[in-house]
Chains A and B, each alone.
Chain A
Amino acid sequence: MTRITSHEHAAFLRDTFASDQAVALIGLGKNAGKTTVLNALIHAHRNAARSLVLTSIGYDGESYDLVAGHQKPLVYLFPGMAAITAQQFLKQASIDPEILACFAGDTLFGPPVFAKAKQAGFVVIAGPSSLQDLIAIRARIREEDPGALFVVDGALGRKRGATADYADGSVLCVSAAFGAPHELAEKVEHALYAMTLPLAKAGEGTRLYGAITDRVVTSFLNETQYKQGPLVIDDRAACFISSQMRRALARRGVELKAWQGASVRALVFNPRLAGGQLAPLEPYVASLAQKTDLPLLVLDAEPAIGKAI
Chain B
Amino acid sequence: MKTFLALLLVFFATTQTAMALTDAQKFNSANKLYLEHEYGKAVELYNSIDISNPDLEYNRASAYYKEGKIGKAILHLNRALKLRPGDEDALANLRYIRSIKHDRENDGEDIYITNAAVAVANALPINGMIAITLFVYLLAAACLLGLILGNNNKVVNLPRWLIFFVTITIVCAALTSYRIARFERTDRAVAIENSIDAFSGPSDITDRLFTFHEGTKVTIGRKDGAYAFVTLSSGLSGWARLENLERI
Pair from one complex: no
Binding site for A on B (CB under 8 A): none
